[in-house]
Structure 1
C-alpha cells in the first residue's frame, strides 16, 4: 500500500513536470515564431523590437528602467557592438576565398544565415544615463543627446569651403575639410548638477572628430543669453569620411537612420548637420533627398539653440562593419523609408513571380569608368574596369533572349535614378567597387555577382552587405594574367563565367516560385 502511494505521488510529480515542460516549450515556440518573422532586426539582439513598440503603445509610451524609450533600447545593444573597423585595412587574409565559378561556385542563400539562438534574452535593455535634469543623455557612451543646447559658430572653423565644386579644389588636402573646435562650441547651460567631465565623453575610439567634439562641450550652471532658436526639432550631427564613395555614404545614411529610429523619428522630422567642409558631390543628393533639411556648420551665423541635438556614434560602431552573418537591423524599413522619401516607385516583389514564370528577369551590368569624384584623384582614374563590356551584354542577351539586359555607368545619373535602377533589378553583375554599397537597396531575394581582377586582395565588405540583406551572392576572380590590361586597369571577363553565373542566380532568384506557379 505504501509503495502504491509513493508510485502515485511520483506519477503526479512526473505529470506536473511534463505539463511545465509543455508550457515552457509553448512559450519558446511563440518567441521562435516571432523571431522567424522579424526580418528587420538583429537575430542576436533585436528580437523584441516589435514587442517593445507594442508594449510602449499599450502603456502610454512608458520607458524602461534605464530611462530610454522601449523602442530605443534594442538598437543600443547594436550600437555598442565591438568595433571591427580594423577590418577596413584589407589584406589577402581578410577576404573570403574566391573560387572560379566554372569549378566550384560560392553561393549563399541568406535564409540560411546563422542566428544567435536565445542570446538576445540577455539584451532586453541597454544603458542610458542622464545629466543636468535630462538635458544630456549618454547612450552606451557611444552617442549623446543634448537638449536645449547652444552651438556658438564663432568657436569652430575649417579652412576649406564646404559645398565647393570638386574641380575648383583639386589636390586640396583632406585635413582642411574638417572642423577644429574650441571649448564652448557646444554649451549646455543652466545645469544645476554639473557632471564630471569623464561622464560626458563619447567613446570615439580613434575617431578624431569625436575627440574634437568631446573637448568642445562645455557644461555650465549659468543661463546663456541666447535667444535665437533653430527651427527644427531633431538634428543629428555627423562627420563624413570618404564622402565621394557610395559604400561609405550608404553606411553614413544607415547609421543616421538608426540614430533617428532610436528616438522614434522619421526622415521628414529629422535634420542632418553634416559636420565637415567637403566639396559638393552627386552623393550629397541622397542626404538632401531624405532628410527634412541638411545643414553645415557655416550655415549657422550666430549662437543658436537646438531643441534636440544628437551626436551620432562614430563609424567604427556601425552594424554594417560587423563581420557576422546576421541580417542588418531594420534593413527593410531603412530601404523602404529611403525610397519613400526619395519618391521612388518600386515594382512589387509579386511582379518577380511573373517575371520568373515568363523568363523576363531584369539583369544589370554596372560599368566602372574613369570620372573625377574627389580632389585627391584629379585624373579620375578608376581601377577594376571590364575590357569586354559589349561582349558580355551580347552573350547574356543571346542566352536569355527574354531578359531585360542593360549595362550602365551609374555615376552618370542623379542618385534618385541610381536608386530606382538598383531597387528594381533582379540580378546585378559588376567588378568589385563602391557601387556595391547600393545592394542594400536591392529587394530581398535578388542576385549579385561580384568579380575581381587577378591578384586583387579584395575584402569581405560587399559580400557581407549582400548576404546580410538577404540576397543571393556569387563571386569570381580572374586567374589568367593574359586577361589583365594593367595599363588600362581593365579585366577581360570570360563570357562562359557570366553566362553560368546569370543562369545560376536566375535559378536561385526564382527558386521560391518553382513550386508555386502563377
Structure 2
C-alpha cells in the first residue's frame, strides 16, 4: 500500500475524516444551495461559446456545507480546491435550521471539481482518483456523483454515469439537501496518474478491469504475433470547450494516409487502422483498444488509452518539437502497465498546427516494439 494510505485519518466527531490531506469523508453533511449560484452547467457547448472560464466555476458562499458537530474541524488539503470547500463549511450549531431539509440523499455521494474536463487524460486521472477513494473506504458502485463545477456538456461526462451511477450538478441543486455519506474526491491535479516520475501507478490493472466491467467490455485478448492489431489514434480539429470556438487542435499529423499506407504495406498480415477516437462513444473506444496490440499516435490525450491495452501490448508515441519531456506521460503509463514502448521524435516545429512524420521513422520504431513483443 502506498505511503499516504498508511496515514491515520484525521477524525472529527465522527462526521469528518481527512485522509492524508488528499481527500475527505463526511457524514450527515448538509448542502444549502439556496441563492448559492445560478443554475448552470451541462449545457451544449455550442450554446455557451466564448464564455469565460471563471463563469464555469462555482462561487460557493459560506455555509454551503454544514456538519452536525459542535465546532469546526481544523483541516487542510495542501492548497487544493478542497481547502476552498473547507473554508465554506460550518458547524450545524451555527445555522438556524438544524434539521429542516428539503431532501435526503442516502448511500454514498462523491463530490468532485473538474479542471481540464475535455481531456481524456485528466478525466481518467479524476476517475482513477475516485476509484482509489472507493478502495480506501471499501465502497462499491452505485455511487452518486456530485459535479461541483459549471462546465458545459462533454462526451467525457458519460464516464461518470456509466462507471459510478447517478450524476447531479451542484448548479442544478435546489434548497437544503442532506447527504448521509459524502466523499470529497482527490483533486485532479493531485492524481498519481499525472505524475510520470512516479515509479508505479497503484492498482493499474485493477483500474483497467474496473472500467471494462462498468462498460461490459471483455478484457481478454490472446496476442497472435503473426496477426497483430495496430491502431493509429489521430488528432483532428473538434470543438473541445467554450473557449475554442473554431475547434483548432495542435500537433496534428499532416500525412495520416501516407503513414497508414506505409505501415500496412510493411506489415501485410497485421490489422492496421486509424481513427479519431473522440468521435466515438467511450464504450466503442474501449472495445477498440481492448482488441489492439500496438497503440500509435501523436503525444496527446488519446494515448491515455494505453491504460486499457491488453497485457504484452505496446505504445508508439510521436513527440513533436518542444513537446519532449524527460519522461513522457505515456511512457510512464507503458511502464506502469508493463507494456513495450517506443517513440518517434520530430525535430521540425509545427506549421499551422500540423507536423510531418517520416514513414520510415515510424516503421523502424514499430518494427522494434513488435520484435520486443514477439
Q: Which TM class, normalised by the smaller chain length?
A: over 0.9
- Structure 1 residue aligned with 2:233: 366
* Structure with max Cα Rg: 1
- Structure 2 residue aligned with 1:314: 187
- Structure 2 residue aligned with 1:211: 83
Contact 2:148–2:171 (Cα < 8 Å) also in 1: no
In 2 relative to 1, CA 259–156 (structure 1 residues): closer, same or farther, beyond 3 Å? farther
The separation in 2 between residues aligned to 1:485 and 1:136, in whole angstroms, is 50
> CA deviation digits over 1:270-298, x for unaligned, max 9?
12111101000111111121112111113
- Structure 1 residue aligned with 2:119: 245
Contact 1:432–1:452 (Cα < 8 Å) also in 2: yes
Which of these residues, 325, 330, 337, is aligned with residue 469 of structure 1?
Answer: 337
In 2 relative to 1, CA 309–416 (structure 1 residues): closer, same or farther, beyond 3 Å? same
Contact 1:170–1:378 (Cα < 8 Å) also in 2: yes
SS in 1 for 2:344: strand
* Alignment map for 1:322-471 (pairs within 5 Å): 322-346=195-219, 348-349=220-221, 351-352=222-223, 355-356=224-225, 359-458=226-325, 460-471=328-339
SS in 2 for 1:235: strand
The separation in 1 between residues aligned to 2:283 and 2:35, in whole angstroms, is 36
In 2 relative to 1, CA 456–137 (structure 1 residues): closer, same or farther, beyond 3 Å? closer
Contact 1:325–1:468 (Cα < 8 Å) also in 2: no
Structure 2 residues not aligned, in runs of 5+: none
- Structure 1 residue aligned with 2:170: 297
Contact 1:204–1:313 (Cα < 8 Å) also in 2: no
Contact 1:157–1:179 (Cα < 8 Å) also in 2: yes
SS in 1 for 2:227: coil
SS in 1 for 2:104: coil
Which of these residues, 358, 363, 370, is aligned with residue 506 of structure 1?
Answer: 370
In 2 relative to 1, CA 332–226 (structure 1 residues): closer, same or farther, beyond 3 Å? farther
Contact 1:144–1:202 (Cα < 8 Å) also in 2: no
CA-based RMSD of the aligned residues comes to 2.0
The separation in 2 between residues aligned to 1:422 and 1:321, in whole angstroms, is 21
Contact 1:237–1:309 (Cα < 8 Å) also in 2: yes
User: TM-score scaled to structure 2, two decimals?
Assistant: 0.93
Which aligned runs of 4 or more in structure 1 are off by greater than 4 angstroms? none
| Higher share of residues assigned strand | 2
| Higher share of residues assigned helix | 1
> 1:155 Cα deviation (Å)?
5.3
* Alignment map for 1:200-279 (pairs within 5 Å): 201-205=75-79, 207=80, 209-221=81-93, 224-268=98-142, 270-279=143-152
In 2 relative to 1, CA 293–204 (structure 1 residues): closer, same or farther, beyond 3 Å? farther
Instruction: Name whichever of 459-468 and 381-390 sits farther off.
Output: 459-468
> 1:401 Cα deviation (Å)?
1.2
In the alignment, does 2:157 pair up with 1:284?
yes
SS in 1 for 2:66: strand
> CA deviation digits over 1:443-464, x for unaligned, max 9?
2321011112234455732221
The separation in 2 between residues aligned to 1:263 and 1:400, in whole angstroms, is 48
SS in 2 for 1:474: strand
